[in-house]
Amino acid sequence: MQTPPNQAGARDLLQPQYAGLYEAQLKRIWWVLIRTRESMHIVSSVVKFPLGKFVKPDDIAFFWNVLVQNCGNAVVLSLHSLVNDNEKRTLSLRKLANSVYEWIEPKYLDWYRGRLRDGKFDSRLHDVAERLRNMRHSIAHIFLNQDGMPAKNAGGISDSEIEDLYAATKAIFRIACLTEEFVIDTRDYSVGTASPRPIDKLLDLVAKDSYWVNQPEMRKQWWQMDRQGMTDEELTDLNEWRTRFNLPPA
């Protein structure tokens, strides 16, 4: 078995006619993982944000819950496609690895097989694929009970479970790669304080424009009476948010 040189790039390990194809497929999977990571951030940010302070319950039940559900579904469906797609004209991690067997220079084939074996590519892929297959079915289908009544939706998928599946899928992707170390989330490598994500800026705008934050201005002539009816904790909370948006204390 011949081991590639330490500084070798993917093009050094592949037959020349396949280098462009390998890079194109790798980059497509990379972009799927980037979009998936961003969808996960959207879900996490919205779920953790205290929307109940700033938004009417009906608006939360419709727009924000739909946003969270759709982004969560997109995460599951994207990961499912990467580990389970097996149609002739679809790309998956399994198909990429199988293609590299054909594209790699013959002298490095045993090395690549050892890379997948040492990384437990097959067992990891099988475990993640089965878990995502079940999740995908619960999203894509409306199941009926024996009496014909629609079955109740299964409980939501936890953040920790999604994080685990995403991390496992990303690890499988890295095993399938020949040499590249793709950066999925640039914040993992940033120095200093990272700038807010777009979803966090949007949530802050919702809060800043809300009735709750702007009570002193919107209830100007009645504010002192309203203020007296607030507990110290409520007033402190309100002023913390107003300070966050450079508004004077209430």
Domain annotation covers residue 245: no
Domain annotation covers residue 146: yes
- The pTM of this model reads 0.86
CA distance linking residue 228 with residue 216, whole number of Å: 12
Q: What's the confidence (pLDDT) of residue 46?
A: 94
* pLDDT, one tens digit for every residue, the chain (250 residues): 789 888 888 999 999 999 999 999 999 999 999 999 999 999 999 999 999 999 988 878 788 989 999 999 999 999 999 999 988 899 999 999 999 999 999 999 999 999 999 999 999 999 999 999 988 888 888 888 988 898 887 666 778 889 999 999 999 999 999 986 666 665 654 556 778 889 999 999 999 999 999 999 999 999 999 999 999 999 999 999 999 999 999 8
For 69, half-sphere exposure in the C-beta direction (CA atoms, 13 angstrom radius) is 13
Domain annotation covers residue 203: no
Domain annotation covers residue 228: no
Q: What's the confidence (pLDDT) of residue 179?
A: 82
Give the Å distances, CA to CA, from 167 to 46, 81, 160, 161, 162.
Answer: 21, 15, 10, 10, 8
CA distance linking residue 167 with residue 187, whole number of Å: 16
- Domains: count for the chain: 1
Q: What's the confidence (pLDDT) of residue 191?
A: 59
CA dihedral 189, 192, 195, 196 (to 10 degrees): 90
Q: What's the confidence (pLDDT) of residue 182?
A: 65
Domain annotation covers residue 207: no
CA distance linking residue 85 with residue 35, whole number of Å: 18
Contact status, residue 180 vs residue 26, Cβ threshold 8 Å:
yes
CA distance linking residue 38 with residue 185, whole number of Å: 9
Q: What's the confidence (pLDDT) of residue 60?
A: 81
Q: Which domain holds residue 54?
A: 10-191
Domain annotation covers residue 36: yes
Domain annotation covers residue 218: no
CA dihedral 217, 222, 223, 224 (to 10 degrees): 150
Domain annotation covers residue 247: no
